[in-house]
Structure 1
Amino acid sequence: MPHPGWSSFNFEGIGTRWEISTPAQLAPALSKELLDTVEAYDRTWSRFRADSLVYGLSHSPGSITLPGHAAALQELYSALYRLSQGAMTPLIGSSLERLGYDAAYSLSPLGMPQAPARWEDVLEWTGTAMTGKEPLVLDIGAAGKGQLVDLLGGILHEAGHSDFLVDGSGDMLHSGSNPVTVALEHPYNPKQAIGTVELDNAALCASASNRRAWDDGLHHVLDGTTGKPIHTTVATWTMAASALVADGLATALFMMEPAPLEEEFDFSWLRVSSAGAATFSAGFEGRLFT
């Protein structure tokens, strides 16, 4: 939680609740810049709004030029797509829509789960250049919120704020000389915690299948090779230098074992299986309740 006496700037953006905590209240111009950044990110990536930059690719083949931050997102997704053997993909949007997680939030499945097309067959994405060879429903939600957390943190740093906590509904970035203690939400009861962890000049991100669940056993964390929800894991937490990396790895841990990820990324982790067993890395210095 933020330190007592800190000021909080709260708002809604990209379909979730945000809180930015700082020792002093943010200037109005800075608050507006933060809100404008969230709006611009949503207007670029959202598959839920018809005026977004990527929305057009869902109706016809074509090419778009993305903002500069897309290069880091593409690099992370490319690595995780490769390491997960296609299970984590930015093309998962079509599978989510098929199961009812669509722009209208109908939550009514259109049929049996279906895997999206393979990235290498239909999508060319290099840095800020993206070309869809057929209509594609992009969804970068597995890492996008984390990247937006980083972008907001960068704006705060540029404005001279060295102490802050950016919290995008559980995806957090901390900066400053005073670490914060964060409760780890119980995957089956959001009013309880399974433990705590200290966040000190790093990012902490979580992924949980209970966050967006509907119908009978359907939720938003899908295997890109099958289009089916993953049921072996129910919650993950990761800590890394950036929220982009932490967010992407939190999702990847649903789809694969940690060892290959640890060979390429510097991070710590905690994973809870559907059987209730908790496993964690040596570097995840938290406290789990018994």
Structure 2
Amino acid sequence: MSRGAASVWRFDAIGTRWEIESATALTERQRERVRAVVDRFDAEWSRFRDDSVVRRLGARGGSAPAPADAADMLAVYRELSAATGGAVNPLVGGSLEAAGYDAALTLRPGAPVPAPADWERMLECTASVLTLRAPATIDVGALGKGRLVDLVAAVLHDVPGRLVVDASGDLAVRGGGIRVGLEHPYHPSRAIGVVEVADAALCASATNRRSWGAGLHHVLDARTGAPVRTWVATWALAADAMHADAAATALFFDGGPRLADRWGVHWVRMSTDGRAERSHGFPGELFTLTGPGR
């Protein structure tokens, strides 16, 4: 939805709806740059495309030219994994497939399958080569959409005035600010609070999104392969969308708040019983009762 912008470009990519709001209409050349970076990212990281790098590696293991984002994203994954005791893991794709969230979207769950705990040995990246030592399914959902939001914003460096890149709630704002409602996960027409996002990024995650079956959703504990149960929604405000997205994922687990605080990320999370917690100094307003601020 437009927030008073002079121009809004809407399109679908990586399985979600995007909106780019700008003070002036994007030129065709600028739109082509966006399409190119999205297509490149999808061709490398999508586990839903037969021709992607991660699907080819997943089928047999081996090596491939390293995507430009690989080293940066895996470095953040190492921090996520350490902070959450292994609950966040880029080889969780096999766990998602076992839960029914596979490339064919069968949504027919089987028994939970833990992700390989030794993922740092199995998955290695140099400046030029990405290596997977055994067949496994890479899934970068813990931070990939945020990374792509950052990349899209970067290729629009020449757009004057305020720019908002919004990938269905994971967004980055440059050249101004916007007021964003924090959508109630149980009542989508309501908000549990609001926050001003100015020259920053806000990412959200909720277990009511991409859910199926009885209590099944896309936020899994990689150690068990089972869906998380304690927290239902998270929000993270950071300088860039990749770290905001990563923090929003980490906040579903013990250790997530400490990592977000160490990164300088402000956050809110809501439990399945309706309690809300927020970071100390969170620059927004909550409408619900909150737990102690950190």
TM class by shorter-chain length? over 0.9
Q: How does 1:132-281 map to 2 (within 5 A)?
A: 132-157=132-157, 159-177=158-176, 179-262=177-260, 264-281=262-279
Q: 1:127 to 1:245 in 2, by over 3 A?
A: farther
Q: Deviations over 1:41-84 (max 9, x none)?
A: 11110000101111111110201122222221111111111111
8 Å CA contact retained: 1:84, 1:255 = yes
Cα offset, 1:189, TM superposition: 2.1
Q: Give the secondary-structure state (helix, strand or coil) at the position aligned to 1:189.
A: coil
Q: Could you say which residue in structure 2 is the equivalent of 1:54?
A: 54
8 Å CA contact retained: 1:47, 1:55 = yes
**Equivalents in 2 of 1:196, 1:263: separation in Å?**
20
**Equivalents in 2 of 1:12, 1:214: separation in Å?**
22
Q: Could you say which residue in structure 1 is the equivalent of 2:111?
A: 112
Q: 1:143 to 1:3 in 2, by over 3 A?
A: same
**Equivalents in 2 of 1:84, 1:245: separation in Å?**
15
8 Å CA contact retained: 2:70, 2:130 = no
TM norm structure 1: 0.95
Cα offset, 1:258, TM superposition: 4.0
Gaps of 5+ in 1: none
Q: Could you say which residue in structure 2 is the equivalent of 1:15?
A: 15
Cα offset, 1:2, TM superposition: 4.6
Q: 1:99 to 1:262 in 2, by over 3 A?
A: closer
8 Å CA contact retained: 2:251, 2:257 = no
Q: 1:112 to 1:174 in 2, by over 3 A?
A: same
**Equivalents in 1 of 2:3, 2:116: separation in Å?**
46
Q: Which runs of 4+ in 1 moved over 4 A?
A: none
Q: Which moved more, 1:97-106 or 1:112-121?
A: 112-121
Q: Could you say which residue in structure 1 is the equivalent of 2:30?
A: 30
Q: Could you say which residue in structure 2 is the equivalent of 1:91?
A: 91
Asked if 1:63 corresponds to 2:63, the answer is: yes
In the alignment of these two chains, the number of paired residues is 287
Cα offset, 1:238, TM superposition: 0.2
Cα offset, 1:127, TM superposition: 4.9
Cα offset, 1:9, TM superposition: 0.8
8 Å CA contact retained: 1:99, 1:108 = yes
Gaps of 5+ in 2: 289-294
TM norm structure 2: 0.93
Q: Residue type of the partner of 1:197? A: V
**Equivalents in 1 of 2:31, 2:281: separation in Å?**
35
Q: 1:172 to 1:49 in 2, by over 3 A?
A: same
Q: Give the secondary-structure state (helix, strand or coil) at the position aligned to 2:21.
A: strand
Q: Give the secondary-structure state (helix, strand or coil) at the position aligned to 2:124.
A: strand
Q: Could you say which residue in structure 2 is the equivalent of 1:44?
A: 44
Q: Deviations over 1:85-124 (max 9, x none)?
A: 2110100000000010011111001x21010112134222
Cα offset, 1:131, TM superposition: 1.1
Q: Give the secondary-structure state (helix, strand or coil) at the position aligned to 1:251.
A: helix
8 Å CA contact retained: 2:13, 2:38 = yes
8 Å CA contact retained: 1:23, 1:164 = yes
Q: Give the secondary-structure state (helix, strand or coil) at the position aligned to 2:220.
A: coil
Q: Deviations over 1:13-41 (max 9, x none)?
A: 00000000000000011111101211111
8 Å CA contact retained: 1:72, 1:127 = no
**Equivalents in 1 of 2:126, 2:269: separation in Å?**
32
Cα offset, 1:160, TM superposition: 4.0
Cα offset, 1:283, TM superposition: 2.7
**Equivalents in 2 of 1:81, 1:128: separation in Å?**
23
Q: 1:127 to 1:229 in 2, by over 3 A?
A: farther
Q: 1:257 to 1:55 in 2, by over 3 A?
A: same
Q: 1:3 to 1:217 in 2, by over 3 A?
A: closer
